[in-house]
Amino acid sequence: MKRTIQRITDPDLANLAVQAQIKRLRARGLPEQWARVGTVFEDQIIRIKRDPVQFPSGALGTFINLERSTQQSGGVVIVPRLGDRFVMLRHWRYALGIISLEFPRGMVDVNESLENGARREIGEEIGAFCTSLKNIGCVQPDGGLMNMPAQIFLAEIEAIGELQLDEGIVGIEMLTRSEIARKLIEGGVIDGYSLSAIAFLTANEDAAKL
């Protein structure tokens, strides 16, 4: 018995998987089109795919996942450091309906390197120029549903310029490491990308002391 969910490539078996999923949907009174496989939606930001699969039990069905659009080649999170303080954005997040405290992040264009994408994003979001850039880790925000990795970079900057207001950035906070830790304890940072960035930052600092 296989222990992983296997994507089906055989057309006949794939059709059986779709039919099995349709049967399940009918039993629950749900739309049959939810069994359709392939790319079910794509725009310039995101792509939603549904694959025919075989589960570890041998049962057939479908599995849906989210990916970055084919217009992108990755994502980046940038931890900007200015002196002994880190720059965090107060960012209005439309999906959540709140102002979220988080590090700058964004998408990397096709044929653009991760490093160039990180430099571009920090320039666009806070008008900063990186004097140095270090890759400190990678995060997958939700492996159960998404394949949208983001590389995390520590960036040394010299100054902060104009904020990217149209993206919903309403302000910044300049925080020391201890102040960031206090924000976490108080629930002031809930953004998953930023929490991962803080974890990698801490791990890299601890490793440097060994």
Instruction: Record the tokens describing residue 100, joined without a space.
Output: 């979220």
pTM, rounded to two decimals:
0.89
What pLDDT score was predicted for residue 196?
96
Instruction: Record the tokens describing residue 93, joined without a space.
Output: 């997040």
Q: Read off the pLDDT of residues 134-185 as tens digits, 9 standing for 90 and up.
A: 999 999 989 899 999 999 999 999 999 999 888 899 999 999 999 999 999 9
Domain chopping of the chain, boundaries: 6-68, 73-209
Which amino acid belongs to residue 45?
I
What pLDDT score was predicted for residue 195?
96
Q: Which residues of the chain have pLDDT under 70?
A: 1-2
Beta bridge partners of residue 68, listed in sequence order: 46
DSSP 141: S
Nearest to 103 by CA among 193, 205, 199, 204: 193
What is 73-209's CATH superfamily? Nucleoside Triphosphate Pyrophosphohydrolase (3.90.79.10)
CA distance 130 to 115: 10
CA distance 55 to 24: 15
